[in-house]
Amino acid sequence: METERKSFITGNMLKSALIDALKKFHPIYMLKNPVMFVVEVGFLFVLLLALFPSIFGGEIAEHERLYNAIVATILFITILFANFAESIAEGRGKAQVETLKKTKTVTQARVLLNDGSEIMKQAHELKKGDIVLVQAGEVIPNDGEVIDGIATVDESAITGESAPVVKERGGDFSSVTGGTTVTSDWLMIEITSMPGESFLDKMITLIEGASRKKTPNEVALNTLLVSLTIIFLLVVVSLYPMTTYLNVPISIATLIALTVCLIPTTIGGLLSAIGIAGMDRVTQFNVIAMSGRAVEACGDVDTLILDKTGTITYGNRMASEFLPVKGVKNKDLVQASYFSSLTDDTPEGKSILSLACELGMNTDNEEQIIKNSKHIPFTAQTRMSGLDMQDGTKIRKGAYDTIKQECINAGHNVPVNLDQLIHRVSSVGGTPLVVAVNQKIIGVIYLKDVVKAGLKERFEQLRAMGIKTIMCTGDNPLTAAAISREAGVDSFIAESKPEDKIQVIKDEQAQGKVVAMTGDGTNDAPALAQANVGLAMNSGTNAAKEAANMVDLDSNPTKIIEVVEIGKQLLMTRGALTTFSIANDMAKYFAIIPAMLMVAVPEMNVLNVMQLNSPSSAIISALLFNAIIIPLLIPVAMKGVKYKPMSASKLLNKNLFVYGVGGVVAPFIGIKLIDVMIAPLFQIFGL
């Protein structure tokens, strides 16, 4: 798969793109691109002039007919190159679609009925809510949530990652995707999507581009290009009676050539390809964008909201130490921590059990305790979990402020050294988990959190791009501050609840800012929907994936940084090529205008700064350069303009110099070289 990503274009893609480029000549399709539609209309007129000169006013000289044929050929090539650019961009997406379609095989599903029996069904017969059992070696028939079992799943058909992923009930790794394969053990899955509406089906539809809509910026730029086209059409149309009045003979083919050279054909031919290629670049990073608007919004991001766990830190915080308060024995804290985590399916809960066992905790009565006790699950509102045991003992572990308030409300004194223990853990970036028995605090569990390597440098790059980073965490302010300093984020929100994320997004948006965030849990769904750019993890819940407008197949929360850079690169590429397209028209003025008028108005020869050989060779050279520049810029449109993090003003100045000045200079050189090459041929044929 990596090899496929690295290759710019394959032989099959080239052949398919050429065929598609020819199909796109259909006038109804060309109407979608008004600039190139004008070129096609001009091509048809000149072609008729070359084939049937009599229908436009009688016979013409043979050399004029040859001239018309050359102009028609170059216009045809111009349209072909523009269509080819779009077809190449679409072809890379189609190649990935074919790979995805291979995963859609006819799959048998083992459906479990309410009475405990099972029946076999085809995957397309499954309904939302059906319970299926998938064993090792079998393909998961449709999207769903794991409700029982634990197994490894091969997701390489979708993500390209060969290492199997562990899926289990509960947490943020319970979502499974249809078309993936269980490689060990078994999973009981509740189907969450109807046939034809699975994540795989949506991926295929989106990548095929069948429902691709132009983004707001693309529509705005297209409006500008249409406006320029209308202006130059009016200029050329009004030029004809003026030159006729002055007895300056100008052929219809020359006027059409002038129109094509003046209107922004370069960016008009590449605009669609730039948008498609932008989505393709996101796809190459194993991110599925639900629309071009989402990719474009990435380029305008001002604020980036990031979760701490799993994004800034590695997640899966591990219990590192038990710290009893004054007057409590360490073994009593270990025992209470162990009991409070018996039904805790989170990685943190499992690490507490593991550490307690290492310290000699007796686990003989584990099943009996679980059976006779009531599990108190963790929620974002209560911010604690635990166990109500058969003898009435209530054990809780949770956030410092929550457990402390429970203790105070029950009339117990807060241990004198509790704040000292909390500060000790928080000051080194750890997460303190306070443990209480019957509302009496007995100690702290030190959960170790590690900041991901290289993140500080990445955040510095974002800062250079003018993007503000905000870390959201449920940790207390001390822990949040320590992690914030180590990671290098601009600000943080401690003791954050789901509604806090939504509020900070709304506050930033109220200031006119574009906000991006990542998430994977059901509680992240509202915030993902509220954000301008919401990146959900493929390993996360279906609710999160439905709410977001992007899905990361690799489930790497830090990938939002790369996605933002791709979005900025997309906008920069579009702006750079628009600048180049408009700038290179300047050289064409110096080529065509003098060529058209200097026979009747010798003084116009002053503008012939390139000293082109003849009026005919000047016009053909400018027109040929106008056509050739499109395929030369296809690699830039596909790969994007090279992007380096810097402020918007510096970026603008750099692009104005490179693509503005370059757009002015390049045509002077290109048109002159073409003129030198074709001048001898024009002399031979008397053009």
Binding residue numbers for Mg(2+): 520, 524
| Tokens matching residue 475 | 């940790």
* Separation in Å, CA 154 to CA 24, 101, 128, 542: 40, 17, 23, 18
- Its sign, for the CA torsion 43, 47, 50, 55, is negative
> Any idea which residue has 């305008």 for tokens?
300
In DSSP terms, which residues pair with 175 in a beta bridge? 145
> Any idea which residue has 């572990």 for tokens?
397
Binding residue numbers for ATP: 344, 348, 378-385, 397
Strand order in the sheet with 287-289: 287-289, 550-552, 533-537, 515-519, 303-307, 468-472, 491-493
Binding residue numbers: 344, 348, 378-385, 397, 520, 524
In DSSP terms, which residues pair with 491 in a beta bridge? 470
d(CA 263, CA 255): 12
**Residue 156 CA neighbour count, 13 Å, CB half:** 10
Task: Assess contact for 498 and 380: CB atoms under 8 A.
Answer: yes
d(CA 149, CA 165): 14
d(CA 535, CA 518): 5
In the three-class reduction of DSSP (H, G, I as helix; E, B as strand; rest coil), residue 325 is classed as coil
* Separation in Å, CA 288 to CA 205, 211, 282, 450, 590: 11, 14, 7, 29, 46
d(CA 386, CA 435): 9
Residue 390, exposed/middle/buried by CB under 10 A (0-12, 13-18, 19+)? exposed
In the three-class reduction of DSSP (H, G, I as helix; E, B as strand; rest coil), residue 136 is classed as coil
In the three-class reduction of DSSP (H, G, I as helix; E, B as strand; rest coil), residue 602 is classed as helix
Which H or E element spans position 669? helix 662-685
**Angle subtended at Cα 560 by Cα 210 and Cα 528, rounded to the nearest 5 degrees:** 75
Neighbours of 410 (CB within 10 A): 11
d(CA 406, CA 398): 11
307 catalytic per annotation: yes
Residue 23, exposed/middle/buried by CB under 10 A (0-12, 13-18, 19+)? exposed
What is the widest separation between alpha-carbon atoms in the chain? Answer: 112
d(CA 121, CA 234): 66
β strands within 419-467, DSSP E: 431-437, 440-448
Q: Of the candidates 105, 169, 185, 113, which has an alpha carbon nearest to the alpha carbon of residue 141?
A: 105
Q: Which of 172, 307, 475, 675 is catalytic?
A: 307
Task: Assess contact for 433 and 318: CB atoms under 8 A.
Answer: no
d(CA 250, CA 252): 7
- Its sign, for the CA torsion 666, 668, 673, 679, is positive
Q: CA end-to-end span of the chain, whole Å?
A: 53
Task: Assess contact for 144 and 179: CB atoms under 8 A.
Answer: no
Q: What contacts 641, CB < 8 A, 6 or more positions away?
A: 569, 572, 573, 576, 577, 655
Catalytic residue numbers read 307
